[in-house]
Amino acid sequence: MSDIVTITPNPAVDVSTTVEKIVPVAKLRGTTQRRDPGGGGINVARVITRLGGDVTALYPVGGPTGQLLKQLVEKEGVTGRTWTTAEDTREDFFVQERATGQPYRFILPGPTLTAAEWQAGLTLLAGLDPFPRFVIGSGSLPHGVPTDFYARVARLARSRGAQFVLDTSGPALAAAVAGGVDLIKPSLREMQEFVGGELPDAMAWEDAARTLVTTGKAGTVALTMGHLGALLVTSDRVLRAQPLTMVPVNAVGAGDSFLGALVAKLAADVPLEDAFRFAVAAGAAALLRTGTALCAPADISRLLADVRLQTA
């Protein structure tokens, strides 16, 4: 079994295109067409695979869309293990407007899972032998899945001696960190939702992350903040990454690229500071690609020298 396993309860087929301008009523003819396997954990697994990491993606599939998703995952070279749902896997839709460069993201709700269906995902994870060193839970929860799904994954990982890494938001995040997780990767918006208020400056960002660490809710907090850079907080250090000077083409997939690169390096026993630096470069590299393409290793290598870290 792989060193790293991702679990994605609400995967998707991501469809992306480019149009000249978005206007109502008129037929908007796309000038490009792309389909990628999507959902947080699948995206993270795509990045880890590109970086040479040993990863397996666990995810449900339903109907023709689910079969297409499975084919797209295999096409990316990602090892996958699936379970079946009665309702179809969702599709998401991304449109880049050429006139303004603005991206538009349409995220569909996905299927409703029965108790037997979401429990099948936990059973699949529990049956892995040997068990992975890292388990990554990422993405939203579909209808029917209890808020504490990721908390259950965290307890399972802990009982098997694995590190649990989480990238989600809202009640699912709150339920998981209540019992403690090894690493979380919220965006600034997700962190503000979690604390229930605005975080206006660097001191507030650090305080929110430190509180999660000192209260035992997270061993490490990796906070991604878009054009404001990134922050990594552990019990004994704070690392701040300045934003890279660049003109972004697209914002889709930056967080997943960051997390995939971070865990790939941690699994390779790279020191935390170097892994964080690499993750920042990967997140920035995703901004250079259109649609849902995620980061490219060549772009990461080129941007790595530009990453500047400060230690608090």
Return the structure tokens found at 181: 């997780």
Active-site residue identified among 3, 14, 256, 299: 256
State how far the alpha carbon of 58 is from the alpha carbons of 45, 123, 144, 268, in Å. Answer: 10, 11, 18, 21
Radius of gyration of the chain (CA): 19
Annotation marks residue 299 as catalytic: no
Q: E strands within 70-174?
A: 79-84, 90-97, 103-106, 134-138, 163-167
Tell me the residue ranges of DSSP E strands in the chain.
4-7, 12-19, 34-38, 55-61, 79-84, 90-97, 103-106, 134-138, 163-167, 181-184, 218-224, 230-233, 238-241, 309-311
Given a contact cutoff of 8 angstroms between Cβ atoms, the answer to whether 9 and 121 are in contact is yes
Active site residues: 256
